[in-house]
Amino acid sequence: MTNAIDQLAFNEAGLIPAIAQDGATGEILMMAWMNRESLAMTIETGEAVYWSRSRRKLWHKGESSGNIQKIQEIRCDCDKDVLLLKIEQVGGAACHTGRRSCFSWVLANGDWADDGVMVFDPEETYGKS
């Protein structure tokens, strides 16, 4: 599998964007970054592992919330610089804000309106920030 990973075009920071898409509905749930190690772990475990730029460490999606992402298929674009993860979103929420999708804000009348589906209360799950 190393050969397939080596064929990807990681950016100068060693990262590649990964879009998580619900494998059953096609809904785009989130975008996060992966490095070679997180992608290798994702392939090995069958669950999404990302690179957290803010925490500067590997991040097994759902390690705190239980909302893991089971990998169904991994694709890349024609330039091999973006990944598409077709996943099963266990627990129903992909976003750390408790929403089903990170893409829950819609531009309406010149402002951003939240039309996201809340799945859990982030303060109950992660504690107060």
Mean predicted confidence (pLDDT) in 114-120: 92
- Give me the percent of the chain exceeding a pLDDT of 90: 90
Strand partners, 31: 19
Question: Would residue 56 count as lying in a domain?
Answer: yes
Q: Tell me what pLDDT residue 45 has.
A: 98
What is the band of 21 on the pLDDT scale with cuts at 50, 70, 90?
very high
Query: Rounded to 5 degrees, what are φ and ψ at 123?
Result: -65, -35
Evaluate if residue 110 carries a pLDDT over 60.
yes
Q: Which residues pair with 111 in a beta bridge?
A: 108
Distance of CA 25 to the CA centre of its chain: 16
Give the per-residue pLDDT at 122.
86
In a domain, 77, yes or no: yes
Among residues 25, 26, 6, the alpha carbon closest in space to that of 16 is found at 6
Averaged confidence pLDDT in the chain:
95
Q: What total number of domains does the chain contain?
A: 1
42 domain-assigned: yes
Residue 14 tokens, joined: 């060693």
The pLDDT of residue 104 is: 95
Average pLDDT over every residue of 43-64: 96
pLDDT tens digit string along 72-93?
999 999 999 999 999 999 999 9
- Hey, is 61 helix, strand or coil? coil
pLDDT at residue 126, rounded to an integer: 86
Q: Is residue 55 part of a domain?
A: yes
For residue 78, the domain's CATH number is 3.10.20.810
Tell me, yes or no, whether 98 lies in a domain: no
Helices marked H in 31-121: 36-45
With 0.85 as the threshold, say if the pTM is over it.
yes
Q: Which domain holds residue 27?
A: 2-92
Residue 104 lies in a domain: no
* 85 within some domain: yes
The radius of gyration of the chain from alpha carbons, rounded to an integer in Å, stands at 15
How far is C-alpha 50 from the chain's CA centre?
Answer: 7
The token pair at 9 is 């075009």
Mean pLDDT of 32-43: 98
Let me know if residue 105 belongs to a domain.
no
What pLDDT is attached to residue 125?
85
